[in-house]
């Protein structure tokens, strides 16, 4: 049985502060997503799908059902159920791929995009406001830290 780690040095205490801050951020993200799920009457996977579609749309990238399944790490059958549910509720549409008519892409409806930004827009503005307090060099370090931490927690 391993012993509980106790900070000893100033560096140890600084690391503990970072770990506590990460936990606080995780808790805040959980509460935010829980609120959005309730407000939008969706489950966590539905919200994650919309978030992915918003991000890819902002980059001008088309999203296939396979892309969605890979991102969410769900089976083909679960992806089909998800797409059926979100299409039926008016959040997405399946369309022919613009370059390969045999393939399909998934796009947000205007109503879904509007609803998502209505619920998430204020929080996004608040997050941007926090980032504006830091200089470019600091943001580079923060970005590297967050990406490396994400990769450590989710190495796939």
Mean pLDDT, each 10-residue run in order, the chain (156 residues)? 80 92 90 70 86 92 94 94 94 90 91 85 90 97 95 86
Element (H, E) at 12: helix 10-40
Q: Which of 16, 14, 22, 18 is nearest to 4 (CA)?
A: 16
Answer yes or no: are the C-beta atoms of 47 and 112 closer than 8 Å: no
**Class of CATH domain 10-150:** mainly alpha
Q: Which residues contact 94 (CB under 8 A, 6 or more apart)?
A: 65, 83, 87, 104, 105, 106
- How do the domains of the chain map onto residue ranges? 10-150
């Amino acid at each position: 049985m391993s012993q509980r780690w106790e900070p000893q040095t100033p560096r140890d205490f600084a690391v503990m502060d970072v770990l506590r801050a990460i936990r606080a951020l995780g808790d805040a993200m959980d509460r935010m997503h829980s609120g959005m799920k309730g407000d939008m009457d969706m489950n966590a996977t539905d919200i994650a799908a919309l978030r992915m579609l918003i991000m890819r749309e902002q980059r001008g990238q088309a999203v296939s059902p396979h892309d969605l399944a890979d991102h969410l790490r769900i089976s083909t059958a679960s992806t089909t159920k998800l797409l059926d549910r979100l299409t039926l509720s008016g959040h997405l549409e399946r369309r022919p791929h613009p370059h390969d008519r045999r393939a399909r892409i998934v796009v947000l409806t205007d109503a879904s995009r509007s609803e998502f930004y209505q619920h998430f827009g204020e929080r996004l503005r608040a997050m941007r406001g926090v980032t504006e307090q830091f200089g470019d060099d600091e943001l580079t370090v923060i970005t590297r830290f967050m990406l490396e931490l994400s990769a450590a927690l989710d190495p796939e």
